[in-house]
Structures are given as structure tokens and as C-alpha cells.
Amino acid sequence: MSEPSHPLPLRGVRCGACGRTAFPAQEFGCEGCGAYGAGLEPVELTGHGTVLALLTVYEHPDPAVSTPATIAGVQLDEGPVLRARVSGVREAGVAVTAAADGNGLIFHSTNGAGAR
């Protein structure tokens, strides 16, 4: 399992009206209540979350992407759900932390449970 090279700051927005957090940061409006503009406050997310589901990709149209690769739906502790690569995770329900490697965003198991 490759280790994260450094923590990756994830930037989102939090709605001042209803408190909902969105990732990635955007200015279109709150997904919950529609507030926009000054109602959306930039926030740095912790990068901690829980794996909801996994899938393995065996072929990718970009030859620069190494396969097989495991992709997961990750619910961040702040609420948003995103899809990203994971390393060393084999089951849903595992706590993960975002990091940067040579290919961008990747999540690693936080506590070793459910890891390969």
C-alpha cells in the first residue's frame, strides 16, 4: 500500500443559512436551500470520511492511469459525498483520510480496519 505523501486540503463551502456543506467549492448556490453569494462561506474540510461503496476499475481510457484501481464513494465527515481512489481498503464502512500522491486525491484507511 502506498502511503500518502502529504495531507490534501479539500476546499468546500458552507451555507450560512442552513449549514449545509458542499464540495467542491462553488458559487452557484446552496444545494439545500438555494442561498448564494455572501451566504456561502469558504471552508477547508478535514478530509476525513467513511467509505460507502467500492468498485475496481480494470481498464481506463487514459493509459497514464494505472489499473487496477479501486474507486470509492466517500462521505466526508462534514456531509458531502464524493468519488475518489482509495488504497488498501476492501470494504464499505471503513474510516478514511484524504491525501495527495503523485496522481492527485487518494483516500487511505485511517485505522487499518478493512484494509488489505
Three cell numbers, residue 98 = 484524504
Residue spans of alpha helices (H) in 14-115:
none
pTM of the model: 0.83
Is the pLDDT assigned to residue 4 strictly greater than 70? Answer: no
Q: How far is Cα 81 from Cα 78, in angstroms, rounded to an integer?
A: 9
Is there a contact between 108 and 100 (Cβ–Cβ < 8 Å)?
A: no
Residues constituting the chain: 116
Q: Which three cell numbers stand for residue 90?
A: 476492501
Q: Where are the beta strands (DSSP E) in 16-47?
A: 21-22, 40-45
- 47-110 CATH pick, 2.40.30.10, 2.40.50.840, 3.40.1350.10, 3.40.50.1970: 2.40.50.840
Domain boundaries, the chain: 7-45, 47-110
pLDDT digits (tens, 9 = 90+) for 16-37: 999 999 999 998 999 999 999 9
